[in-house]
């Protein structure tokens, strides 16, 4: 294994994602108004909403 930051390597697998705790049908969601939270060891570190984003959820950039 390469030297460096092991968490950067270990979080790069295709099966790893930051989803949870449940998945609901897309029809029941408004992607322009969804809460987003980051918790570390049960403590909320960041909290926001998709409606506060500079670019909307459907915004695509040329690149």
pLDDT tens digits for range 29-53: 888 898 989 999 989 999 999 999 8
Q: What is the DSSP letter of 4?
A: S
Residues 6+ apart with CB under 8 A from 49: 33, 34, 35, 36
Q: Residue 48: name the closest of 58, 34, 28 by CA.
A: 34
Question: Which has the closest alpha carbon to 37: 49, 21, 25?
Answer: 49
In this model, does residue 55 exceed pLDDT 90? no
> pTM for this structure?
0.50
**For residue 52, what pLDDT is reported?**
93
If one counts every other C-beta atom within 10 angstroms of the C-beta of residue 50, the result is 14
pLDDT tens for each residue of 15-25: 666 656 677 78
DSSP bridge partners of 44:
39
């Amino acid at each position: 294994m390469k030297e460096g930051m092991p968490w950067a390597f270990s979080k790069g697998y295709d099966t790893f994602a930051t989803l949870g705790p449940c998945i609901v049908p897309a029809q029941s969601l408004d992607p322009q108004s969804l809460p987003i939270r980051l918790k570390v060891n049960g403590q909320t570190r960041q909290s926001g909403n998709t409606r506060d984003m500079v670019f909307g959820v459907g915004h695509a950039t040329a690149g």
